[in-house]
A = this chain, B = another copy of it.
């Protein structure tokens, strides 16, 4: 006999919310409860998530504590700044999985600088593949799901932190769904198709301190991160190209093989194969490959992830599994949808 976990999703009209529901519809232990939204409350879900036919007739409710309480797990896919108050009122009976940024950063100063306002505190960080993170997630009542760029960047470089100098350079090409459904002119299809563009250049993207935090924690020393995101004409996927100067004598491949040998979702490709984002579309896998530029003595790692899946909603489900004591991979897959 299986336990049934009753869940709610706040922000069910957005891309992260939709992907959460897509994955949860395939999770054997889940019963989908309240679906809430802000301006879309009152709409039926079909209007916003036409691909989720089994939930087409569900009505979106307002995002209130009243609508969210009474569930075993509440997923928050909200703009930053909204989770702390909700979580407090939901109480510890409810597991809260926050896809937003509010509780990712450990430093209140970093929070203040990058997001502004008071820091709401730090929750267990939902990237179990990082050193010592998994244990903190087992049985957790609160989880901060990582940002999509920090997920792929941190997993791409964490195994190498002892082998490299202190500065890393990351250029990550991303699909547009990472920007959500916000109605901005530069996100219109006519602008996006056929075009690549960088944004948040010069260390201005808010995921920079999160990557820095992860890599510095893994290294046990400050790592400096040069991070540039690039928007490409695709809906999903991030391809991160990460490089750093190697110290002498590093056996890079061995370090990655060791780090990810037992990880179900992080997959070091055999030599000669390189990641592509469509190979991980819709899946919870991270595919990566490593090499050394021998002329420069520089490590180069390329990693692919689906920003909405392992980059957000898949990680959220993975963390829910850990929090509830379910097998970590339940309802998740390493099989992508390609071509």
Contacts and interface: CB of A to CB of B under 8 A. Distances in A.
Interface stretch (A79-87, A90-98, A213-221, A224-232): A224-232
A197 interface: yes
Interface in A268-323: 269-270, 273-283, 285, 287, 289, 291-296, 298, 300, 302, 304
Contact of A194 (B187, B193, B270, B295): B193
Interface of A: 15, 18, 22, 25-26, 46-47, 49-54, 167, 169, 171, 173, 175-177, 179, 181, 183-185, 187-199, 201-203, 224-226, 228, 230, 232-237, 239, 241, 243, 245, 267, 269-270, 273-283, 285, 287, 289, 291-296, 298, 300, 302, 304, 333-339
Nearest to A48: B185
A37 B190 CA distance: 20
Given A51-B338, A194-B277, A196-B277, 16 more contacts: A18-B338, A51-B278, A171-B228, A189-B189, A191-B278, A191-B339, A193-B339, A196-B234, A197-B239, A197-B276, A198-B239, A198-B302, A201-B289, A226-B293, A233-B233, A235-B339
B198 A193 contact: no
- List 8 A-B pairs, minimum CB-CB distance, nearest first: A189-B192, A51-B336, A171-B171, A202-B291, A195-B278, A203-B293, A183-B183, A196-B239
From A235, A278, A333, A338, name the one whose CB has the most chain B CB atoms within 10 angstroms.
A338
A53 B285 contact: yes
16 contacts: A22-B335, A46-B270, A49-B338, A51-B280, A51-B281, A169-B243, A171-B241, A189-B192, A193-B234, A197-B239, A198-B274, A198-B302, A202-B292, A203-B298, A230-B241, A282-B282
A12 to B, nearest CB: 14
B188 A176 contact: yes
B197 A188 contact: no
DSSP class of A's interface residues: helix, strand, loop or mixed?
A: mixed
A280 B175 CA distance: 20
Given A181-B190, A188-B183, A189-B193, A233 B230 contact: no
Given A198-B274, A230-B241, A339 B185 contact: no
Contacts of A289: 201
From A15, A190, A267, name the one whose CB has the most chain B CB atoms within 10 angstroms.
A190
